[in-house]
Amino acid sequence: MTKLLPHLEVETSSNPTASVIWLHGIGADGHDFQPIVAELGLPKTAAIRFIFPHAPSIPVTINAGFVMPAWYDILEMSIEREVDQVQLKKSANAIVDFIENEISRGIASERIIIAGFSQGGAVAIETALSYQHQLAGLLLMSTYFATKDSIVLSEENKSLPIEIQHGQFDAVVPISLSQTSAQFLIQHDYPVKVKTYPMEHSVCPQQIQDISDWIVKCLQLG
């Protein structure tokens, strides 16, 4: 049996019928987004298992080699970030393990959403768009498409609903990177929605409401 990364789980009701696998950003851990479940205000009938994996701690080059939770090493902070793609794809494989584990627990792949913030979003894109079975949706928050030149796109997820959300004043991951991601996805005929918010590299109340509405739509809960 595959050993999963350490993680947190929150179930909105017993006997979940859907799952959301949510990836945090660099320097954080699964606790970062755990409180958001209660804030989403999902329908009482929603039976969703939220999974918040913890990234392993590794040295990060742009932070002087300091060891911190990270899905992959970032080698330089240019606008088109140079990253360790081998590590990123290894992290994506670790998230595939979570997907497969949910399927083994009785959740159909079409009922599994992948979400990610910042560095976690880059892993989420690689995971979802290369996965060989249909997923429910992909949520990308304040992130970028680090593997757009190397990813092997899965035919099974060419119709995957994708929502991109980004802060207009983000100085950590410039909004132009989300625009580049959206252009790539649109060119490849993915159904993409882009939403921007008057915020920096963070999450705001209006965004939380939008995430709730999007999850309800993806999982047809309404």
The secondary element (H helix, E strand) that includes residue 52 is strand 48-53
**Given 29, 32, 84, 170, the catalytic residue:** 170
- Tell me the three state secondary structure of residue 191: coil
Annotated active-site residue 97? The verdict is no
**Given 91, 118, 142, 181, the catalytic residue:** 118
Instruction: Please give the distance of CA 129 from its chain centroid, rounded to a whole number.
Output: 11
Annotated active-site residue 170? The verdict is yes
Annotated active-site residue 109? The verdict is no
**Given 133, 154, 201, 202, the catalytic residue:** 201
* DSSP letters for 114-160: EEEETHHHHHHHHHHHH-SS--SEEEEES---TTTTT----GGGTT-
Do residues 121 and 21 make contact, with C-beta atoms less than 8 angstroms apart? no
Do residues 93 and 74 make contact, with C-beta atoms less than 8 angstroms apart? no
Active site residues: 118, 170, 201
